[in-house]
Structure 1
């Protein structure tokens, strides 16, 4: 009923008069068959099938959702049910159209529209099932749309005329011819290539991060190099596929180098500083560092900055250059064991040897205080109001905080002093008032 026009298209080019004739002939065929009872019946069946599927998809999705309770979220059956739930509308629509198509073919009238509809729905479902297995849903959706458009044009026998039409829309930029076909190829290739690139990058980064033979800093550096290499390769593939001469970017690269030298000094400095930090392993993810007034645990290290999370759950983004040029205290550089000092004052009437033993024993009772090396208390001197002591103890988890464990130790000591009768003095001042006798002659 609808004969193909692909054989009437002349390659490699098509002028606008041929395009106009092709579109007019297509419109004439639509007008010619638009009043055909068989065509109207097939269009009505397609619309009715869509309406039935649209109103029935809610119940199907609810039934599938009830089945997910029987499986774990990580189970492949759980994932399969989720995919089917998302495709409930096209699946129901396809089933209805298949049943009606079987009836039409049994009766005898031609069913081109129904066959095309079933083919388009089948392609859409299959493409969505394949792309839904990817983690990045945005890129997967873009890939599904691109592949389905190409498949739909092929099913409708419009792919070749469309390619010829897009190739005819072109302009020259210097010696380079840029056509809409080349731009479309670049867009489709970009979506597909970047989708594959990011998926492959995540897979390789996960394998690198699981490797026990590499240190955390080397893992981060390797992951960054893998991502940069794959993205660079993807860009080259897209440019070559679009027909653009890659050598034309040599001048652009030179101008970019000049721009980096003047306007991007800080950014380049941070990137180079980040590479240095990853190579010398002076700071790595998991370290507890102190930069200026910032104290916390290094969460991640990026190309431009390092993420440091404090005990208040505040995340500081410190430029890599600051970690190179400023003084940085790394509490866990070679070892996580950290010694803390707590000043203590006791009254002059206290038995100092017994008090020192009491302090050391009490500090050892705190769970975070290490038993080896054991806590040590020293006498520092004689103060104005108290005998000055200093408790020194070690902890192995500075990322859990230092002031909180010092507070816990002081609370324990206060309770122990109270039970043992050790006095904690406070500043005292003696004020004496002397009466001076006045000379009677001056009264």
Structure 2
């Protein structure tokens, strides 16, 4: 089992065969106390023995100011973002991570959008394979305490947290796992707390940071989890359609892809109607599937459903609606979830425009996203309107009864982003309905 080391070192690490992975080790708090700059260089920071699976994590805080963190490199590797926040009157702070397999020291360079001062980085390392961000929260309160409510944690993972104020009375967690204070130090007129938790359950916790008086306080928390296996791009394995006016649609022997213990079927479908209809139930092989999300109004709608199924290459799918439709078209994705069959997030949009976007949703590094789309009374090309760093690929587009356009999209997600938006565009302004879901 991976070992936790905070404020010290537990277990053996390194690149050699037979070594025991370290889940988490606190290394140091490195600093560049330059009073005014846009580039902060923290040289020769100890990151421990080289290891092929080593990730370095930095929890960064600055003096008050309004710029943002624009980039972080660790040992020359561009770091990925978990948290990147700016709080007026308090300053900028964030959590970043990078794969740094070689070397025993690293130079950390942090750049900002405008002049800032006093950069501090709490530095951690892990040599456990497959570590990825799970969830993150960051908050400021002008009073004497701030609480990060509902941080998702995972069995076998960890949490990094820091708090900053003119003074820190304490930091506590609602969970049963121990919160370890890794460092507490003064810089400028502030105190900076750095802490970590080894998590032993899949749950949600609260983290509360307290100051002696109502002088304002900020806190952040980021949870991480080791993922199983490797990234698996969703495969559109089968499709189905029926132009009959029905309430219940039966599709037999639909292709569902390759049997696998980690397989989950993600079933997307869209429908036309003369009145608003919703999904009542979906079964796969006679067993109820779970509706992830759906959106509809008078002319039709779209939905995403999930169903873990480790065996077989075909399945019978029955979709029952709240009342009769005019047509129904769908597709089945063969997917592999590395953390949970339950989606990380989902979002919908239902509006008339040339381009539509969903509300923000979280996508996770190492996961995937699937989008199901319906466009009423128009036969034209549907393109993805996705704000994330990855390309949402169109896997299929079909024309339904020479009236509507239906499309399905998917991609692997290689970033942690809590503000990604899905959506579609087309040449003309038509009714568009979209469901997007992210998985890990």
TM-score in same-fold range (> 0.5): no
Structure whose CA Rg is larger: 1
Category of TM-score, reference length = shorter chain: under 0.3
- Give the structure with the larger helix fraction: 1
- Structure with more relative contact order (C-alpha pairs < 8 Å, separation 6 or more): 2
Greater fraction strand? 2
